Chains A and B, each alone.
Chain A
């Protein structure tokens, strides 16, 4: 019985791949049910840095949740490669020996492994990979809250800010090249933008009052944030350099934590207008009225809109805080466990969230979570490039 289902899955995958090759550039789309998993073997990686590449690749493919990693015999696919130091030639063959993926990646060992892992996921499942991505977060390990960056798996942690003040609420642009955050160097809360390539930093939102909580639009061209200059904390949208600010909301409450829909047309945010606890709302990014989203929690904050557009992850209060997901199509709600401030990865399957002393990477399909940042004091407010 097990063999039959494996073969049928293999057949299905083959058909789709063949179709995509035959008809050109179309992305293969395969829907894998929760119980489905592709049997994949990690073959030999040869050359310098082979052990690092193998280790990182295995970790990435394991985290991805799409595969059962095993021996070559009985596997539907085998992945292997040749490292030359500074580059990796990666190759995936099916059980007939036909090459389904062959590509050369350049960069440091960890980077080429992440790139290869993402291509394997995308080729075999049709889903975006999450391995070749960056995260940023807040840690108080110096005694002050500063912004740090790292790879999605917690490697290459770097302290980005050294303000010695309060530096919080980081937001990576979807391409991972820019970072906006809230800093108090002026004595007030302002939003700063750092070009991560050049290191240049500019204060882009500095209205009277408190400016905080920037979120990039999916194309990186705009930010949404909270601005209080009108006499109340309201949501604003402006260019990603702070140009052309425009107020979206107008209430007696606190609007905060905007997150964009994948098409950039809507924003989900929290507001306590009309009550003492914050709830989730959605509003057109062009303006208009906010509409409440039913979450099943009296207190819901820190929403993150999934890149596939279907789900909102958020922090719900239930005694302590829990990570929960509202499905916008069914209206159903799921609670995934304790934590705060979830952010979706590019695949709309994984979430990174804060548990206080660590950042956790959670597979919302399997329910499995692994710590990616630990031992850095209090860590909070993760953001994740796509």
Chain B
């Protein structure tokens, strides 16, 4: 009985410590525990596929970016206010999907799309939304909003979209 108690106590301590470490966030970054430059992502919500039926993509307008740009500027910022206000009222979590236009090389564009999604996520965190409620994904140049090859289409494709996990 005594032995069982010790094991149970040890397990509780381990679970408690690891949960604490995860919440703290900065312990989650990098294997060596360093804090990196963004806010580490929370564990994924299983089964939440951005283009799947478990995600509602109809609630918010996309954020658009300049060519090769990753910063949210000007009129795009007011769209973020809308998202942040809605997030404060609801309990659902959010997925931000980043996209690029078709110019640029494919693997770099996957990274650039992710960088855009993370830039939007950081902005929302700065507006008081808990980062543990926000996932990111990048589709790079895949899934364009407009498949045409011209300036107007490219401007629509350089974007971050929001999906609410149902």
Contacts and interface: CB of A to CB of B under 8 A. Distances in A.
A247 B37 CA distance: 13
Interface string B70-110: 00000000000000000000000000000000001111101
A243 B55 CA distance: 31
Nearest to B41: A208
B114 A210 contact: yes
Contacts of B136: 208-210, 228
B137 A189 contact: yes
Contacts of A230: 29-30, 36-38, 40-41
Interface in B117-157: 118, 121-122, 135-139, 142-143
A170 to B, nearest CB: 11
B23 interface: no
| Max chain A Cβ within 10 angstroms of own Cβ: one of B43, B108, B138, B139 | B108
A212 B110 CA distance: 8
B37 A231 contact: yes
Given A166-B139, A210-B110, A276-B68, A187 B50 contact: yes
A204 to B, nearest CB: 16
A276 B44 CA distance: 30
A250 B34 contact: yes
Contacts of A149: none
Nearest to B38: A231
A270 B115 CA distance: 14
A231 B125 CA distance: 12
B39 A231 contact: yes
A226 B111 contact: yes
A54 B155 CA distance: 53
Given A166-B139, A187-B52, A208-B43, A254 B106 contact: no
B112 interface: yes
A188 B110 CA distance: 12
Given A187-B50, A187-B52, A213-B107, A233 B37 contact: no
A293 to B, nearest CB: 16
A218 to B, nearest CB: 20
Given A145-B142, A212-B110, A233 B52 contact: no
B107 A212 contact: yes
Interface residues of A, number: 49
Contacts of A252: 37
A245 B31 CA distance: 7
User: Which secondary structure characterizes the binding site on chain B?
Assistant: loop
A323 to B, nearest CB: 12
Size category, B interface: 35 or more
A229 interface: yes
Nearest to A233: B111
Nearest to B143: A166
| Residue of A168, A229, A246, A250 most packed against chain B (CB within 10 A) | A229
Nearest to A275: B68
A315 B103 CA distance: 13
Contact of A169 (B40, B47, B69, B106): B106
Contacts of A272: 68, 108, 112
A188 B36 contact: no
A132 interface: no
B138 A210 contact: yes
A151 interface: no
Contacts of A256: 107-108, 110-111
Interface string A144-172: 01000000000000000000001011000
B105 A321 contact: yes
Contacts of A266: none
Contacts of A60: none
Nearest to B131: A231
Contacts of B44: 186, 188, 206, 208
A217 interface: no
Given A212-B110, A233-B114, A187 B48 contact: yes
Given A187-B48, A230-B30, A315-B105, A254 B139 contact: no
Interface in A339-382: 340-341, 380-381
24 contacts: A166-B142, A169-B106, A169-B107, A187-B50, A187-B52, A188-B44, A207-B41, A210-B138, A226-B107, A226-B110, A228-B41, A228-B136, A230-B40, A231-B118, A231-B122, A232-B115, A232-B118, A233-B111, A233-B118, A254-B108, A256-B111, A301-B105, A302-B107, A380-B106
Given A247-B34, A254-B115, 18 more contacts: A145-B142, A187-B137, A208-B40, A210-B138, A228-B41, A229-B29, A229-B41, A230-B41, A246-B32, A247-B30, A250-B30, A253-B115, A254-B114, A256-B108, A301-B107, A301-B108, A340-B106, A381-B106
A-B interface, 6 closest residue pairs, ranked by CB to CB distance from nearest: A231-B38, A187-B49, A208-B41, A254-B111, A230-B36, A256-B111
Interface of B: 28-32, 34, 36-44, 47-52, 55, 68-69, 104-108, 110-115, 118, 121-122, 135-139, 142-143
